[in-house]
Amino acid sequence: MAARCRLAARFHHIHGANIRLDASHTQATRVESFANGLCFSQEPLAPGQIFLVEIEEKELGWCGHLRVGLTAHDPQSLEVVPEYSLPDLVNLGDTWVFAITRNHNRVVVEGEEVQARGRPWEPFLLIQRVRIPRDTLVGRSRPGRYSHILDDLYKMNVLPATARRSRIGVLYAPQPDGTADMHIVINGEDMGPSARGLPTTRPLYAVIDVFASTKSVRVIPVDYGCSSFPADAVPAGYPETHRAPPGHRWPALAPATQELLPT
């Protein structure tokens, strides 16, 4: 039986100057301007653990959208939270951030075949050895007139990635060479590796930049197993709940078909 990730699905108390968090630290709203909207996950992500947010509110009049990624910088180590994720935070190094669009960046190595993405209506999203319930990854309309029609549109993933109720997630998957690939998930669809060669020897925090036309986002908790990666893929500095219990032996790296089954 797979162990479960127990990361608190909350934002870090360190954030951009224009961000206001609600009492639960699960909703982040940019209250002024279009910048200084940087947010981080409260804790570093475990291998295969997705940090998922839903766009709650948009603001007309600005150009640009939500930006998402990972950073190896502990938010508490930042002397000043940068104004922008791109380029400011990225320029600090060990940070990988992308603006969310339908034409999302995908890194393909020479000779690699781009695999067809799974159909949005399949019940699980499979990313290497991680299997995530797709239903949680897809937003829903609010109850009301025509809400059933909107729900069908969300399920088919035909709305813009930056629309209200879109759900955007980021995770990393360790590779046999000791590095990791970063994946961004948009409304239940894996965009493929957005960055490769991420270090797995340092904790990696999710980065959510509530930028420009995106005004408010909410963290969506996702409950699924995340323990099929080897223990040495979890670097020092992670909460103990991400580590194997004493005496436990992780299985060898399995083929991609050996997913993380929900318990």
Per residue in 110-167, pLDDT (tens digit) is 555 555 454 556 789 999 888 999 888 888 777 766 666 667 766 665 667 888 889 9
Tell whether 250 is covered by a domain. no
| For residue 27, pLDDT beyond 70 | yes
Residue with tokens 């190094």: 93
Give the list of residues 6+ apart from residue 124 with CB closer than 8 angstroms, or none.
Answer: 131, 132, 133, 134, 259
pLDDT in tens, 40-53: 999 999 999 999 99
Task: Report the distance separating Cα 81 and Cα 24, nearest Å.
Answer: 21
pLDDT score recorded for residue 110: 57
Task: Flag whether the pTM goes above 0.75.
Answer: yes
Question: Residue 140 has what pLDDT?
Answer: 76
Number of independent structural domains in the chain: 1
Residue 161: inside a domain: yes
Question: Worst-scoring range by mean pLDDT, 54-63, 155-164, 174-183, 216-225?
Answer: 155-164
Q: Can you give the residue range of the structural domain that contains 154?
A: 19-105+119-231
Residue 254 counted as domain residue: no
- Does residue 67 or residue 257 have the better pLDDT? 67
Q: What is the mean pLDDT of residues 57-81?
A: 95
C-alpha torsion sign, points 85, 91, 92, 93: positive
Share of the chain above pLDDT 70, in %: 68
CB atoms closer than 10 angstroms to residue 174: 21
Confidence of residue 95 (pLDDT cuts 50, 70, 90): very high
Q: Is 244 contained in some domain?
A: no
In a domain, 133, yes or no: yes
> Could you tell me if residue 236 is inside a domain?
no
pLDDT score for 71: 98
Sheet holding 205-209, edge to edge: 38-40, 205-209, 67-71, 95-99
For residues 130 and 124, the answer to whether their CB atoms sit within 8 Å is: no
- For residue 113, being part of any structural domain is answered with no
Question: Does residue 195 form part of some domain?
Answer: yes
Is 62 within 8 Å of 50 (Cβ atoms)?
no
Mean pLDDT score, 251-263 = 31
To the nearest 10°, report the CA torsion of 139, 144, 145, 151.
20
Residue 68 sits in a domain of what CATH number? Answer: 2.60.120.920
